[in-house]
Structure 1
Amino acid sequence: MPVRLRLSMHGQRNNRIFHLVATDLRKRRDAKPIELLGIYDPRLRLGQDQKTMEWSVDRIKYWLETGGATPSKPVVKLLEKGGILPPDSKYHPKALGPRTPLDPQPLAQPTPPDS
């Protein structure tokens, strides 16, 4: 069974919280997960200066190493910010190299008609 670590959305429309879950890849976003691994609250409450993320580091590492789970892109970003994954992990999207702006091609000068 392919397992994926992803965020599941819960709460009211303007008061969302996200659960970090291990779930079957083929199931929908808010389906019953295999295991709840953490809770992410993106809202700042009174007196807070940071967003909160509560997670079980041991279980996340278990699913990544032993369970063979692949994290989604938002989960990779959260795990890198939390120090669970290194920035150069195998789950991090590979950089395509430095981006350079397109150099405009000079327009060909019209040749004057021969007289």
Structure 2
Amino acid sequence: MSLKIRLARAGSKKRPYYHIVVADARSPRDGRFIEAIGSWNPLMPKDSAERVKLDADKAKAWMEKGAQATDRVARFLDAAGVTKRDARSNPKKAEPGAKAKERAALAQQKAEAAAAASE
């Protein structure tokens, strides 16, 4: 049985509220879970202490039993000091695309031509 520590949506339409739960990976998002270990209210201010409530001891215990946290929950656990999340780095994503490189080269040629013409 593959265990996940993940979010289960609650709340009403356009008013999200999430429970942080330990569940079998095969169960539906809002379906059966083993244990609720916290909650997240994304509508609260980011600096509010009530935004994320998490039982760190239970999370640690479940992770020792083999449960894996999803990306969002891993962020919460990292902020709580339970686990260390590796920073993602994709320097290729920030690189401009082929068309943007062509436009930049064309703009540079025009600038050089204008500078040469003004001299």
Give the structure-1-normalised TM-score: 0.71
More helix by share: 2
Q: Does 1:101 align with 2:92?
A: no
- Quote the offset at 1:49 in angstroms: 4.7
- Quote the offset at 1:39 in angstroms: 0.8
Identity percentage over the alignment?
27
Change (3 A) 1:70 1:49: closer
Q: Structure 1 unaligned runs (5+)?
A: 107-115
The residue number in structure 2 matching 1:58 is 57
User: 1: CA distance between counterparts of 2:44 and 2:17?
Assistant: 12
User: 1: CA distance between counterparts of 2:28 and 2:53?
Assistant: 23
- Quote the offset at 1:44 in angstroms: 2.2
Code of the residue aligned with 2:72 in structure 1: it is P
The residue number in structure 2 matching 1:3 is 3
User: 2: CA distance between counterparts of 1:6 and 1:37?
Assistant: 10
Q: What are the Cα deviations for residues 32-79 of structure 1, in whole angstroms up to 9, with x where unaligned?
A: 21000101111127xx952611111111001111x1011111111222
Structure 1 runs of 4+ aligned residues shifted over 3 Å read 102-106
Aligned residues: 99
The residue number in structure 2 matching 1:76 is 74
